[in-house]
């Protein structure tokens, strides 16, 4: 189960999957990202085609890390996710 976060303000479910493993070639990086996105989609109960990626560009804690997200997501009770609150957006929470 991934560590998932939920932005109720934007209705976005997201998870930080980290950096690309250094030892992977470009094609392997793409395959790794697809496998991470497929696992996240399965956890969220969403179609894997709805999962989008985002690289954090400005953060003390998450800079350069890959984030997977599902937009327009209504959080069901069976999906566990940390609610970041109405004050934060996904981007401001990651970049703060």
- Mark the ranges of the chain whose per-residue pLDDT is less than 70: 1, 21
Distance between CA atoms of residues 6 and 43, nearest Å? 13
* Cβ neighbours for 33, distance < 8 A, ≥ 6 positions apart: 20, 53, 66
Residue 70: its pLDDT value, please?
96
Residue 1: its pLDDT value, please?
59
Nearest to 51 by CA among 76, 77, 72, 79: 72
Backbone angles phi, psi at 6, to 5 degrees: -130, 130
pTM of this structure: 0.90
Q: How many structural domains are present in the chain?
A: 1
Structural domain harbouring 71:
4-95
């Amino acid at each position: 189960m991934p560590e998932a976060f939920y932005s109720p303000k934007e209705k976005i479910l997201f998870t930080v999957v980290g950096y690309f493993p250094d030892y992977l070639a470009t094609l392997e990086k793409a395959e790794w990202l697809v496998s991470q996105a497929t696992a996240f989609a399965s956890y969220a109960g969403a179609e894997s085609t709805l999962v989008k990626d985002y690289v954090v560009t400005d953060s003390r804690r998450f800079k350069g890390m890959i984030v997977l997200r599902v937009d327009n997501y209504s959080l069901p009770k069976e999906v566990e996710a940390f609610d970041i609150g109405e004050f934060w957006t996904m981007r401001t929470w990651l970049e703060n």
